[in-house]
Amino acid sequence: MNEWEQTQRDLAKDAVRATLPDDVAEAVIGCAAFGAVAGKLFNADKAGHTREDVLAALDPDDVEFAGRAHTPAAFLASLIDH
């Protein structure tokens, strides 16, 4: 992973931790598919949306389920429409 990719992941981690419940955030960040979340949040940021606003706009029931999903980050990424 190059420096730019690591920076995008770090920005995504910060947004996830700031926006989602602690247990969900850690499940998402610890998932092997976290790169998908970072990529979707990067695209949203490029489109003029903050990462935190995108995450805050997700349905709370879906966010809660993400913490229990088999691949939490993949499920969460599927909810982000950017």
Could you tell me the pLDDT band of residue 2, with boundaries at 50, 70 and 90?
A: very high
For residue 66, what are the CA distances in angstroms to 3, 48, 60, 71?
28, 25, 10, 8
How far apart CA 16 and CA 24 sit, in angstroms, is: 9
The yes-or-no verdict on residue 82 having pLDDT over 80 is: no
The yes-or-no verdict on residue 47 having pLDDT over 80 is: yes
**Res 1: pLDDT:** 81
**Res 9: pLDDT:** 97
Angle, in degrees to the nearest 10, between helices 34-46 and 22-29: 100
Could you tell me the pLDDT band of residue 77, with boundaries at 50, 70 and 90?
A: very high
| Nearest C-alpha neighbor of 32 from the set 62, 61, 64, 75 | 75
